[in-house]
Chain A
Amino acid sequence: MNRSQLIIQEVSRCPAVDGATMADILAFSEPLRLTLKHMVRNGPLPVDQFAEHLEVDLDAARIIAQRLLENGYLEKVYADQIDETNETVQAYSPIYRVALAPLRGRPIPDDL
């Protein structure tokens, strides 16, 4: 398997989550782990830069981003938009952000 196929395999097999924790990110292998870390540290990335970080081609990067999105690790900050005035689909390149999971609470006594 080549680099792209290996990453696609990894993101296809990773468990679906409701937002990623840093522990989830740590569990990915390279180059996914450091790319996701980069996105946490430096902010969202458009798909071409996501591809550059992963060192894969654009098509593979789109598949990887889509799987991570479906599995709850990424979210789209800007989605493709339909321009209603002339009914064409404006292919705005989506920008992806790591969806950090909120820290869940747990039941503790009210009078604490």
Chain B
Amino acid sequence: MSKIVSIHSFRGGTGKSNTTANLAALLAARGLRVGVVDTDIMSPGIHVLFGVDESEMVHSLNDYLWGECNVEDAAIDVTPRLTGSIPGKIYLIPSSMKTGDIARVLREGYDVGLLNDGYQRLIQKLSLDALLIDTHPGLNEETLLSIAISDVLAIVMRPDSQDYQGTAVTVEVARKLDVPLLLLIVNKTPQVFDSQMVKQRVEKTFGCEVAAVLPHSDEMMTLASEGIFVLRYPDHPMTGMLKQVAQRALP
């Protein structure tokens, strides 16, 4: 049975796209076939992590939502461009980076039902074991839909008061929609913080499982989204933590 995993955060810049790309790489390294959909139509970005240039996008999620192609036509097999031996597959379904396309979404809207059908079709056409959905921060229609249809929702937050408040909103929505597995990932934790205490505080605040407390990492900052951390630093402690998250999301 394939699983749909949404990666969300209430506030921006928490590390959703990096977490999504790293989870995709770890799952593909286990031999799984993974789809990654960039539903951040207003501010796409995850393609950068997979080294995909705008000029390579023959089609995008936008074209599918406007009825101009099948959703699988927008999928790019990014596996060959990743370092290391990856027995599985990663297909990226990018959102368009063209200003005109982003403006068109704003101007014309799109059929949300198609997005839902598109997820199911991708799973079927690409024989996916996992579909990872990278979302826009905050709650909007495509994010709510993604949460509703997910088997696993991973909420990324920083140990910051604004993030605590925002995360409470998303957790409440996830509970109301009865998401089967809800995981919290604390990211960018300052090295001076005691990660065990952070974990306890977050678990107590939200009453749900913390899958990892990831440190703020200079290596990640330096990588600057030009690659996938777990492939670049396979022996780094953070890679081990991300593996635990992948294992928890897809045992």
Give the interface of A toward B (CB within 8 A). 21-23, 25-26, 33-34, 37, 40-41, 100-108, 112
- Besides A22-B112, A105-B109, 17 more A-B contacts (Cβ < 8 Å) are A22-B145, A23-B141, A26-B144, A26-B177, A33-B176, A33-B177, A37-B177, A37-B178, A100-B112, A100-B113, A102-B109, A103-B109, A103-B110, A104-B109, A105-B106, A105-B107, A105-B108
Chain A residues with Cβ under 8 A from B110's Cβ? 102-103
Contact B148 A37 (CB under 8 A): yes
B39 to chain A, nearest CB (A): 12
A105–B111 Cα gap in the complex (Å)? 11
Given contacts A37-B177, A37-B178, A40-B149, contact A23 B113 (CB under 8 A): no
Closest to A29 in B: B176
| 0 or 1 for each of B67-106: is its CB under 8 Å from A? (1 = yes) | 0000000000000000000000000000000011001011
Given contacts A100-B116, A101-B112, A102-B111, contact A26 B173 (CB under 8 A): yes
CB B172 to nearest CB in A, in angstroms, measures: 10
Instruction: For B105, list chain A residues within 8 Å (CB).
Output: 105
- Which residues of chain B are near A100, meaning CB under 8 Å? 111-113, 116, 145
What does the 1/0 interface line of B138-179 toward A look like (CB < 8 Å)? 000110110011000000000000000000000001001110
The majority secondary structure among interface residues of chain B is: helix
Q: Is the CB of B103 within 8 A of A108?
A: yes
Query: Whole-angstrom distance from the CB of A86 to the nearest CB of chain B?
Result: 36
A21 touching B141, Cβ below 8 Å: yes
Closest to A30 in B: B176
Known: A100-B113, A102-B111. A112 touches B144 (CB 8 A): no
* Residues of A close to B103: CB separation below 8 A: 108, 112
Residue in chain B with minimal CB distance to A43 = B120
In the bound complex, residues from chain B placing their C-beta under 8 Å from that of A34 are 177-178
Partner of B176, one of A26, A102, A104, A112: A26
Rounded to whole angstroms, the CA-CA distance of A34 and B148 in the bound complex is 9
Residue of A22, A25, A33, A104 with highest tally of chain B CB at under 10 A: A22
Q: Give the top 7 A-B pairs by smallest Cβ distance, nearest first.
A: A22-B144, A105-B109, A103-B109, A100-B113, A105-B108, A112-B103, A41-B149
18 A-B contact pairs sorted by A residue (CB < 8 Å) = A22-B112, A23-B141, A25-B148, A26-B173, A37-B148, A40-B116, A40-B148, A41-B149, A100-B113, A100-B145, A102-B109, A102-B112, A103-B111, A103-B142, A105-B106, A105-B108, A106-B107, A108-B103
| Complex CA distance for A103 and B114, rounded to whole angstroms | 11
CA distance A100 to B148 in the complex (A): 13
A residues near B148, Cβ cutoff 8 Å:
22, 25, 37, 40-41
When chains A and B are docked, how far (Å) is the Cα of A100 from the Cα of B112? 7
Q: Is the CB of B178 within 8 A of A108?
A: no
Residues of B within 8 A of A26 (CB): 144, 173, 176-177
